Chains A and B, each alone.
Chain A
Amino acid sequence: MKTYTDDALARTIYQLAAQRMQAAGKQMPCSEAVFSVMTGAAPDGVSYRQIGHLENADFLEAAYMLLLGRPLDEPSRKTWQSSLSLPKQALQTLVLKTIMQSGEYQKSRIPLTDCPFPLFEGEQKNLLISSQALPERLVRIYQKMPRFMQKLAKKAAGKE
């Protein structure tokens, strides 16, 4: 009988499933490396150390999985396709920044730690009052308000 580390067992199970997928004429939806990262992730935060080593395509997939809690969707995959040839850090900065500035991320708010390069240098203040920090529904309501009500709402929120 064998003994496995958690990661080794996860990877072996992945390989078994991959064989079955192949036999059914299909491919696994993510690479073994991304699956391994996902299996070892903590539920309350993502450390850059877990994903920083991944190749660009895997990094993109893992960032979506861990920071947004879902796989990369097809439209997003197509959008990112041309960026995958960027140098590693450039792509990683772009991916992390895009994800973390998205309205979707404001809902999951899974923190990223240990990132060795700045993502929001000089932008932190803006982020605090940007509409992306507000729930989308509130923003929509705000946009439909008459101008005088928008002013009142801003005043109430201490933004004016």
Chain B
Amino acid sequence: MAETRVYMDLSRLCLTTFTSGIQRVAKEIVLRLLREPSISLTLLADLPTHTAWRVLPQEAFIRYYTEKEGSPYGTGKPQIIRPEDIPTDAVFFDIDSAWNMPMHRCWLFPKLKERGVTIVSHLYDLIPVTEPQYFHSMTMRQFLSWTTAVLQYADRVICNAEATKAALHTLCDQLELAPPPCTVIPLGADFAKKAADTGKLDTVLFEKLTPQRYLLMVGTVEPRKNHKLLLDAVEPLAARGIKVVFAGRLGWNMDGFAKEISKHPKNGSDLFFVQGPSDATVQALYQNALAVAFPTKNEGFGLPIVEAFCNGTPVLASDIPVLREVGGDMADYFDNTSVDSLLEAVDRLLADPEAYQKKRAAIAAYRPRTWDAAAADMAAALRKAGSIRGTVPADLRVTQMVVLTARNDDLLRTLPYLDACMPFIERMLVCCPERNIAALKEAWHGRIRLSFFTDEQLLDGAELPKDHSTRNFFLRCLMMRRAPLDDVFIMTDDDYRPLMPVTQEVFLKNGRYQAYYCYDLRKWRGTQGDYTSFDRCMFRTRDLMTEHRMPALMYASHQPQIIDRRLFLEMLDAFPGVETTGADEWGTYFNYCIAKHPEMFAAERFVTTGWPGSISDWPLWCQPKALLFENFYDVLYADGKIFAGMSSEYNADTFAAESAEKQRRWIAELGKQSAAAAQMRTYAEMLRDSTGRLPEFLLTMQDGQPVFSVPELLYLPAGAVTRMPFSADPAVCQTEIRYSISDDRGNRIVQERTLVPEAVAPGVPPELVFPMPPYPFCGILSLTCGEITANCAVSCVE
């Protein structure tokens, strides 16, 4: 059986010094899932940035939570994982109190979802939504926000009780939302027995209590638990010879309740409040109570009922569905708004001593559900959630490659690479002008068989759009409708070259099409001030995806991609007329498919060099996952360029060695960019620590005059493009800002550039762009806005 990869964020559990409530559940389940062979578990804890996690070493985690030794974080250098690093075939499972975590789920879940990661959320209850008055304002706000994320993004929800599932369905009905699939898994309750002699027995208390002549209420005192009802019943209970004992911590907003007890005339005689009782006291209280009272207004599960049964004690519980579900026939129930109803339940226990003793005997035989059973059910649910993917037939063979080109030379230089490295490709459909066909037929005699579809056949009288990107999408749409394509094929360009042997698994793995992305469209800035056709196409695609509430990754990765023609046509039907809107074909197709058919697609980081053409063209949003292809540019082979001295033609004898060298050089360049980004982060953090702000530029109006506000010293990494935020007062947004950088000898290092804040594309923040040379220098950044100028010292560092 294949392992299901599961990632769990346990940030709250690791922060909590005591384990009770949710953290106790998380601990018990995780310790057992770690032993489950069908689950490969990665445990995570939040980093101070709240945008990434550290991986918790499993041995350290187990030792800490079983033997109370060391720390759950371990001692070595932590492995860091960002949301983007979670594999697309993995399950992200929240069992901890995720609503309390600084890494908000409304921020995290869309990031996981747009790449196809399965999200499973454990829902303990919905009480902060249904009865918010019982919660601290912070908890309530965080919970409402978390509920939003769960309803919007979770693929499956696990509840502990049918009542919670019903509450979820009721909420979805009210919101007119389709509820997420929900599995009910009751909690375990066979907690490791605490030694009866743990802590000191409160003998003074027991001197005042008679066995089976008091009601016990255990747990943190908080409004929702409805201690008040039992307090109101103290006098009538005293009249029956029954005392009341509250045992637990005083919770949020309950100081008034503590005062009420202390002033109560029966306090110390018929009423007792034991704050922070020892385990020995709690156990003795349980065993000697007439019954445990549980007048709670609402619960997610009701573990106190199970604990009472485990101690052989009868239970009087609120008559609410979740407690009926947990207490079954063994508990007695009362109306939690009526003291009389509680008293009637007590009277029933007192009325027939023989029946009461029989009840105790029956409860003594109670055996709680085990954590092993709960964890086994949880593992099954996770396996099920993880297996909803991979529905592309396992025996599917992809043999066709398709290219749209007008450049014979480029295609003929690329074909030998494809022929040698992609043995599963048997045929290539070339969509090209009629006039190119004869020359191609004459020149190519390789293994891959070429067939042709002419531009004339493709267009069939249709007029080509003028814009380059719009034309691309338009042509590909025609191709999908008219060309003799296989249902599934590899789409490529005439200059995408493999760097090593590539198997079909690169494109179709574990029953899922691999979709290679290279950027987040929402982060794409483009060539500010002079947007290219490509930039505008990306902005349009971003807007289209946002409008339809779909993921918005950039799939223009400049490498071959696998296409399912049927899904492409389905996408066209979903967006009528999209082929003429100038959106990006792959961005539209893959984001649509990830949203609509997540079980068939996995979004993976791109695997190509040469995109961007030069590594200093723009900062990468993510680094390539591997380097399997080269987006070929002749210019990169010129003297002084990255592939200088290497052959740009296929040569079977030198191919392997040259490919390895190309990868090595490209990785070194990527490393430089990472180092530059790290330098900028350090600089930004230094500035943030001293001023609370990141390095940025402002143009404000003061006394009717524009005034610049700039950092005193700007660090810029050599050999990289750095972008700095620029904010302008609306009054000066239309003004042109000019800026340039000169070195300390007056040589112009960055030629004058312009920025008009208002002319920046919608959704893109205005920025100053600094492409720096690959050597260090000191200089001055000059900014002008009309007659206003500002200078800033620049230190360009390696």
Contact = CB atoms under 8 A, between A and B. Distances in A.
Interface of A: 1-6, 9-10, 12-14, 16-17, 20-21, 24, 26, 28-30, 35, 38-45, 48, 65, 69-71, 100-101, 105, 109, 111-121, 124, 127-128, 133
Given A16-B174, A100-B693, A111-B694, 8 more contacts: A1-B176, A10-B144, A24-B133, A35-B144, A35-B145, A38-B145, A114-B765, A133-B690
Contacts of B110: 6
B393 interface: no
B103 A43 contact: yes
B147 A21 contact: no
Given A2-B177, A43-B51, A43-B107, A116 B129 contact: no
B132 A21 contact: yes
Contact of A42 (B107, B138, B171, B696): B107
A96 to B, nearest CB: 8
Contacts of B131: 20, 24
Interface string B103-141: 110110010000000000000000011111100011011
Considering residues A12, A40, A70, A111, which has the most beta carbons from chain B within 10 angstroms of its beta carbon?
A: A111
A9 B49 CA distance: 27
Contact of B132 (A3, A10, A20, A116): A20
A40 B145 CA distance: 9
A116 to B, nearest CB: 5
Contact of A21 (B107, B133, B177): B133
22 contacts: A4-B152, A6-B106, A6-B110, A9-B151, A10-B145, A10-B148, A20-B130, A24-B131, A26-B133, A29-B141, A30-B141, A35-B141, A35-B144, A39-B144, A40-B106, A41-B104, A71-B141, A116-B700, A117-B698, A118-B709, A120-B691, A128-B690
Given A1-B178, A17-B129, A21-B133, A113 B102 contact: no
A105 B691 CA distance: 11
Q: Which 4 A-B pairs have the closest CB atoms?
A: A29-B137, A43-B50, A100-B692, A24-B133
Contacts of B104: 39, 41, 43
Contacts of B152: 4, 6, 9
A109 B693 CA distance: 9
A17 B689 CA distance: 38
Contacts of B691: 100, 120, 124, 127
A3 B549 contact: yes
B220 interface: no
A13 B141 contact: no
Contact of B107 (A41, A70, A109, A133): A41
B664 to A, nearest CB: 33
A6 B148 contact: yes
B106 A39 contact: yes
Interface string B171-199: 10011111000000000000000000000
Contacts of B132: 17, 20-21, 28
Contact of A39 (B51, B148, B549, B709): B148
B728 interface: yes
Interface residues of B, number: 51
Contacts of A12: 175
B693 A113 contact: yes
Contacts of A4: 152, 175, 177
B225 to A, nearest CB: 16
Given A6-B152, A9-B152, A133-B689, A113 B144 contact: no
Nearest to A41: B104
Contact of A109 (B147, B151, B688, B709): B688
Contacts of B696: 113-114
B319 to A, nearest CB: 20
B727 interface: yes
Nearest to A100: B692
B37 interface: no
Considering residues A1, A14, A17, A113, which has the most beta carbons from chain B within 10 angstroms of its beta carbon?
A: A17
B222 to A, nearest CB: 15
Nearest to B693: A112
Contacts of B423: none
Given A13-B144, A17-B129, A114-B696, A71 B727 contact: no
B101 to A, nearest CB: 9
Contacts of B147: 13
Contacts of A100: 691-693
Interface string B90-108: 0000000000001110110
